[in-house]
Amino acid sequence: MTTTVTRYDVTRDQLADVLDGTPRYRVDQVWQGLYEHCTEPSDWTNLPKAMRAELDEQLPPALTSVTESVSNDGNTVKFLWELDGGERVETVLMLYRDRATVCVSSQAGCAMACGFCATGQAGFSRHLTVGEIVEQIARATRRAKDVDRRVSNVVYMGMGEPMANESRVWESVERLHGDFGLSARHITISTVGLLPGIRALADRPLPVNLAVSLHAANDELRNELVPINRRYPIDDLVDACNDYLAVRNRRVSFEWAMIDGVNDRDRDAAELASVCRRLRLPAHVNLIPLNPTPGYPTRGSTLKRVHEFRDLLESLGANATVRQNRGTEIDAACGQLAAGQPVTLGRKKTD
């Protein structure tokens, strides 16, 4: 990995230093090009041609586009990027009526080894830099503008575990807030449950949303599905969420990928409802059927079972929403991002 400064590595103030000697109004034009228009230096025709060429060299992009896939309904776009060093990561843009959500990667691969997740199956390559994270949002914003959508939400639910790269992820959050003008309430960080990261988030100044990928509400099953649970078991996770809620008072969500016969039984709903109640502000559960990945042969629950499970949770006093899967046919849905990496085959269904 090189130490070259890429175009989204720098804050607005640092931009003036990098472009030392450039008049302030020109620096502002560069900033507008990067953050308001999200375009390339070659597009900035308000700047002299020679300066545009120089900027391209001074501030190179961090991401090289490899492919862009679009879902059948045209509403989900998956970008595959190559990083300096050859690693590959993916970003997903989900278009809604007049807005858009960007699902951003925080690492190339992931070391957490959740067997049902394509990124976990691929293993860990490296942390992404701040510039690589921020550029994913800029490039997706540009694509959204092409179809008259505004990026309204960013979710750190792409490749990698954001809390394993917490300081860079946080710096990128500050940039989204400061440079793109995104409200912290429209930014969600999803974690598998790294407690130091959750604790660090409680001390951070912006009130972003916290999502915890729970998937099992007893340690035996969670140890199997989410191996990091052996280090940070459910009781400690509940305590960390409660410490977080003491500071933030913003509801935490629990993500629950429903796996046929594994975590979709009546007793799983009862255990989950009980964990939700242990939080000082009851958690909200997001249910999605498990998406297929090459290395995990067990099926997702049927939609009928997902709705029954939701109803059961509601009857037990827990709030739950069934989330729609988008972009499954282009492998852009939750847990399907592998950026073409080989995966480990052979995880089996648990009883």
Ligand X SMILES: C[S@@+](CC[C@H](N)C(=O)[O-])C[C@H]1O[C@@H](n2cnc3c(N)ncnc32)[C@H](O)[C@@H]1O
Distance in Å, CB of 190 to ligand X, minimum: 4
What mask of x and - would describe binding to ligand X in positions 251 to 280, judged by CB under 6 A?
----x-x-----------------------
Contact between 117 and ligand X (CB under 6 A)?
yes
Q: Tokens 């639910």 appear where?
A: 157
Which residue stretch of 6-14, 44-52, 108-116, 127-135 sits at the interface with ligand SF4 (rule: CB under 6 A)? 108-116
**Smaller CB distance to ligand SF4: residue 120 or 289?**
120
Q: Of residues 38-97, which lie at the interface with ligand X (CB under 6 A)?
A: none
Contact between 163 and ligand SF4 (CB under 6 A)?
no
67 within 8 A of 332, measured Cβ to Cβ: no
- Dihedral sign computed on CA atoms, order 228, 209, 334, 340: negative
> How many Cα neighbours within 13 Å face the side chain of 225?
25
Secondary structure (3-state) at 214? coil
**Smaller CB distance to ligand X: residue 15 or 225?**
225
Contact between 112 and ligand SF4 (CB under 6 A)?
yes
What mask of x and - would describe binding to ligand X in positions 297 to 336, judged by CB under 6 A?
-------------------------------------xx-
- Which regions of the chain does DSSP assign to beta strands (E)? 63-70, 76-83, 88-95, 99-103, 107-109, 124-127, 150-156, 187-191, 209-213, 253-258, 284-289, 319-322
Contact between 161 and ligand SF4 (CB under 6 A)?
yes
Known binding-site residue numbers for [4Fe-4S] cluster:
110, 114, 117
The residues, ordered by sequence, that sit 6+ positions from 59 with a Cβ below 8 Å of its Cβ are 5, 6, 7, 10, 18, 41
Catalytic residue among 38, 103, 276, 334: 334
Q: Is 334 labeled as catalytic in the residue annotation? A: yes
**Smaller CB distance to ligand SF4: residue 149 or 222?**
222
How many residues at the interface with ligand SF4, by CB under 6 A?
A: 11
278 within 8 A of 315, measured Cβ to Cβ: no
Spatial separation of the C-alpha atoms in residues 144 and 100, rounded to whole Å = 7
Residue 153 forms beta bridges with which residues? 101
Contact between 103 and ligand SF4 (CB under 6 A)?
no
**Could you give the C-alpha distances from 284 to 133, 209, 212, 215, in angstroms and in order?**
27, 12, 10, 13
Q: Is 90 labeled as catalytic in the residue annotation? A: yes
Long-range contacts of 17-23 (CB under 8 A, 24+ apart): 18/58, 18/59, 19/58
**Smaller CB distance to ligand X: residue 135 or 255?**
255
Helix runs in 179-302, H state only: 195-203, 219-225, 234-248, 266-277
Among 71, 119, 209, 291, binds ligand SF4 (CB under 6 A): 119
Distance in Å, CB of 8 to ligand X, minimum: 21
Catalytic residue among 87, 90, 166, 271: 90
Q: Which does 157 bind (CB under 5 to 8 A by kind): ligand X, ligand SF4, none?
A: ligand X
Angle (CA) 279-282-286 rounded to 5° is 115
Q: Of residues 167-206, which lie at the interface with ligand SF4 (CB under 6 A)?
A: 192
Known binding-site residue numbers:
110, 114, 117, 160-161, 190, 213-215, 291
User: Measured in whole angstroms, how far is the alpha carbon of residue 256 from the centre of its chain?
Assistant: 16
Residues binding ligand SF4 (CB under 6 A):
110, 112, 114, 117, 119-120, 160-161, 192, 213, 335
Active site (catalytic) residues: 90, 334
